[in-house]
Each structure stands twice: as C-alpha cells, then as structure tokens.
C-alpha cells in the first residue's frame, strides 16, 4: 500500500487572533506535527494543502499572515504544496493527478476544519478510490449554530468523525496511527 500524508489548511487564520479562530487548534497542530515528522523520517510522500480565498473573501487572503501555513507544520524545501479555493482539496486542483503520479492508494488526513475541509476532502478522496485514515486528534473545528441551537465544537468534531468512520474512513488518534 502506497500512502501519503495530506495536511489540510493548518493555517494561521485558524489560530488565536485569526479571522476564523478554532477551538483548541494548538493540540491538533501538535499532533499533525508528529505525523509530519514521522512521514519525513520515513521519506514517505506528503502534501500540504493551503486554502487561498478568491478576491472579496474576508479570510485566507493572499499575501496576509492569516493565509500562511502555521509554523507547527511549515513545509520544508521540496515538499509539495497545493493551493485550493474550495473545501474539497481535489476540486480545481492538481491533487488527484499528483497522487496518481506517485501511485498513492491510501491517504492519511489531518487538518482543519473537521466539519468542512476534512469532511469534504475525505469524502471526495474515498469517492475517487482512495483508502482513507483520518487522524481525529490532528483535526480541529469550532462551535456552530443551526436554527438557533448552539452546537459545541467537541460535538461537531465527534459527529463529523463518527460520520466519516461509518463509511468513508478509518478514524484513529495520532498515537494509534504511529504505533500501528
């Protein structure tokens, strides 16, 4: 099985003082860093996904600090960076072609936001024929609201991970993945 790590949108905008600060992004980014270090140490393929908004959006603006990949998972020279404008990392990007050219069949997915880009990217990857593992504690999200009802970030996070595990992906913790 040829696998690759996909780190989705761990960008400054999601941290304290960012336009879309999430709940507890630091622990998630630290776990993503452990995965990144593991993949680097084994010379395994990895891809950094970076969201850059189209003009007129109030966040992920090209040229700002918020759009930059967070220092915890900052790419090093030679690592693949793919920019996107949609929640689905495959939509209008070179990601699928890049993974196919590498013979990748299994994706290990970490990043932000669980309820948006992790969900959309994982479902798309599965539909495109990839086996997926989502590292739940290397992802983060935020509180949401629907019809006047507040939904805590932890509930959003667990609900989306449970839905993904039901059919689309294996969900593991960082330690479970690294020790398997």
d(CA 133, CA 153): 21
Residue whose token pair is 């860093």: 33
Residue 4 CA from chain centroid, whole number: 13
Q: Is 127 a catalytic residue?
A: no
pLDDT given for residue 23 in this prediction: 96
pTM recorded for the entire structure: 0.97
**Which listed residue (9, 119, 137, 139) is catalytic?**
9
How many other C-beta atoms can be found within 10 angstroms of the C-beta atom of residue 145?
A: 8
Residue 139 designated active-site = no
Catalytic residue among 23, 37, 74, 84: 84
**Tokens 């930059």 map to which residue?**
68
Structure tokens at 173: 């913790």
Residue reference for tokens 């220092």: 71
Give 14's contacts (C-beta < 8 A, 6+ positions apart).
20, 21, 22, 25, 70, 112, 113, 140
**pLDDT of amino acid 77:** 96
Candidates 33, 117, 132, 139; catalytic one = 117
CATH superfamily of the 3-178 domain:
Isochorismatase-like (3.40.50.850)
Give the chain's residues under pLDDT 50: none
**Measured between alpha carbons, how far is 82 from 98 in angstroms, rounded to an integer?**
10
């Amino acid at each position: 099985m040829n696998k690759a790590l996909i780190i989705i949108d761990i960008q400054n905008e999601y941290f304290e003082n960012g336009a879309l600060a999430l709940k507890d992004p630091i622990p998630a980014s630290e776990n993503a860093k452990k995965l990144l270090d593991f993949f680097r140490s084994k010379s395994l393929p990895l891809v950094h996904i970076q969201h850059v908004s189209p003009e007129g959006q109030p966040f992920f603006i090209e040229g700002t600090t918020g759009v930059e990949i967070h220092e915890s998972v900052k790419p090093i020279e030679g690592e693949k960076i793919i920019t996107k404008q949609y929640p689905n990392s495959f939509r209008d990007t070179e990601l699928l072609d890049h993974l196919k050219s590498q013979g990748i069949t299994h994706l290990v997915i970490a990043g932000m936001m669980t309820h948006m880009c992790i969900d959309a990217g994982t479902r798309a990857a599965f539909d495109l024929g990839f086996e997926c593992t989502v590292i739940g504690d290397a992802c983060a999200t935020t509180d949401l609201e629907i019809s006047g009802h507040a939904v805590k970030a932890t509930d959003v996070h667990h609900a989306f991970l449970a839905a993904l595990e039901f059919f689309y992906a294996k969900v593991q913790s960082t330690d479970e993945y690294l020790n398997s």
